[in-house]
Structure 1
């Protein structure tokens, strides 16, 4: 089907990765009348078994729409047969698996859109987006790789809360076609060709959410877990996060205010409803990193990956005289916590230090 045509009711959408976000996208896709095939990754066998038995994802409180088809990874060829759109629903921990296992199996004619958020070192010290990384891994084949960014938690999408996201990619026609497939009265989709800007913004929010949520845990440590929320410290860390995100986006090649807004919105929803909030709070309460991670065993924490990658890159660039770490005090401190295993202690005075 040409990407300029109105999407047919029986367009086939295959979603690889039956985690919460990949599975949440089943709802708008199937509600629009498309054939939807949900494929579990190699780690998702039990999830697919549960979906087949109950018609519901184990972590959702709402049944999938009728007619969704469920496949295990061993049935991938069947699930991809005739597909018009492939959605990558894996977490950042599955990026290499997707590169090695999925990319060779994706036809160049099949558009792909990914919900995976993050940045990765390209081997030269430069950070690039996952779509760019996959494009390089797939070369010389030219795959049609796109991504979804923006403030969207899976369970609220399932609940049909009003949600605004951005589909980004190189080709506007393809983006508009995908928007036509997926948009719903509660799922609103902007389109952007600034892939690096959008992907950088939504990756950074996972890192900076820790900074804001550490302040939540610190207040709980001082005033009690059931105390009235304290917002001054949260706002101070949130404002610093926005400032550093903007600087990092410019450093990595994007000064797009719209992309920054996508990241700020995503930061907001992650602070109040994301999984990374849990680790930030525990660190703020004074738990050592190892103890906090043990308490959250089994929960996917993508913020850890991006903090480590950003801070390692910044430290290398600082050693080369390319950046001044003093301009990034919050992310630098998060690196001390997650890389150097130091206790969380937000460097407030560094936020207001006069720049020379």
Structure 2
């Protein structure tokens, strides 16, 4: 199958390797021409996962039109807040029945739309053409071919199954699901909870605190998901608990690492300067907070993360605010 991966960051690069190892021909789009040239010349991405050979089936280009042309599977791996603008430029190049696969885990600022909703609107495609990949998928581990699993969610289960076949390798095991809403919300909110986890870790707080953040973070994710029509069982699976645990616990996690900088007393700007990669939860916490408020859903951890990130609240004050909430039944 001819496939395109639009975005040559860590996860886009690792996903190109997965597709190639599963037997597909892959064109990887890189925004910077020199990165695309290096991938073509060396078979490696010098900017991300530079020690990982991508295989002979992967080539690269700085032309999105060239990447998309004739692709049956178009994988979107750009920062979530840039998706709409990029798709406005790319939509005309899509083939009539290509499947669009979202690797992004965020909620759009302003619209509070999930990434699949942005794709449907910006690319002017039917919802059943959009699949979502979500799960505990740390790119660095997958690049080393360490065993991992994921979820492919699509309202058209036959299409989800086709994507599943296209990305199955000896080290990468995909499962199908038709709960797009639940899988996307699990992937977006876990980034915010991982920021809180990183803050707590840097403050020297222990495992009781961390376990509390994971379990109560999962509870507020599920509350929002149910309010939006998700299946509650989704949040006990790979796209819910699995992704949350992986992102919170791993030092490879961008959001946890960003949270650690905040927990050491750095400002948002200082934390951004200290990290090389996009931490999706930093911007998404604003949109998730707005989405929760619009549906009357309490998300206290998300609200405190937003206060620390965007209102300059001291993390110690945020922790005290969480612990001083009125007691209630679980």
Distance in 2 (CA, whole Å) between partners of 1:311 and 1:215 is 20
Aligned to 2:304: 333
Aligned to 1:131: 116
The answer as to whether partners of 2:39 and 2:59 remain within 8 angstroms in 1 is: no
Aligned to 2:171: 186
The structure 1 segments of at least 4 consecutive aligned residues displaced by more than 6 Å after TM superposition are: none
CA change 1:27–1:294 in 2 (3 A) is: closer
Aligned to 1:265: 242
The answer as to whether partners of 1:206 and 1:270 remain within 8 angstroms in 2 is: yes
**2:43 equivalent to 1:55:** yes
Question: 1:246 aligned to 211, 222, 226, which one?
Answer: 222
Farther off after superposition, 173-182 or 245-254: 245-254
How far off is 1:32 after superposition? 2.5
The structure whose Rg is larger is 1
Question: 1:32 aligned to 13, 22, 40, which one?
Answer: 22
Secondary structure at the aligned position of 1:108 is classed as coil
Secondary structure at the aligned position of 1:93 is classed as helix
How far off is 1:313 after superposition? 3.6
Aligned to 2:323: 349
Aligned to 1:302: 280
CA change 1:98–1:88 in 2 (3 A) is: same
**2:151 equivalent to 1:177:** no
Question: What TM-score do you get using the length of structure 2 for normalisation?
Answer: 0.89
In structure 1, the gaps of 5 or more residues are 1-10, 221-229
Q: Please list, as runs of the form range in 1=range in 2, the aligned pairs for 1:1-356 lying within 5 A after superposition.
A: 11-40=1-30, 42=31, 44-58=32-46, 59-60=48-49, 61-73=51-63, 76-120=64-108, 123=111, 127-139=112-124, 141-142=125-126, 144-219=129-204, 230-261=206-237, 262-271=239-248, 272=250, 273-296=252-275, 298-315=276-293, 317=294, 323=296, 327-345=298-316, 346=319, 347-350=321-324, 353-354=327-328
CA change 1:65–1:249 in 2 (3 A) is: same
How far off is 1:121 after superposition? 5.7
How far off is 1:295 after superposition? 2.2
Secondary structure at the aligned position of 1:243 is classed as helix
Distance in 2 (CA, whole Å) between partners of 1:274 and 1:351 is 29
Distance in 2 (CA, whole Å) between partners of 1:191 and 1:299 is 29
CA change 1:352–1:274 in 2 (3 A) is: farther
Distance in 2 (CA, whole Å) between partners of 1:197 and 1:112 is 18
Distance in 1 (CA, whole Å) between partners of 2:41 and 2:144 is 22
How far off is 1:77 after superposition? 3.3
The answer as to whether partners of 2:179 and 2:231 remain within 8 angstroms in 1 is: no
How far off is 1:79 after superposition? 2.9
CA change 1:238–1:110 in 2 (3 A) is: same
The answer as to whether partners of 1:23 and 1:89 remain within 8 angstroms in 2 is: no
Aligned to 1:5: none
CA change 1:102–1:245 in 2 (3 A) is: same
For residues 293-323 of structure 1, what are the alpha-carbon distances to aligned partners after superposition, in whole Å with 9 as ceiling and x for unaligned? Answer: 2322x321111121011123445x3xxxx63
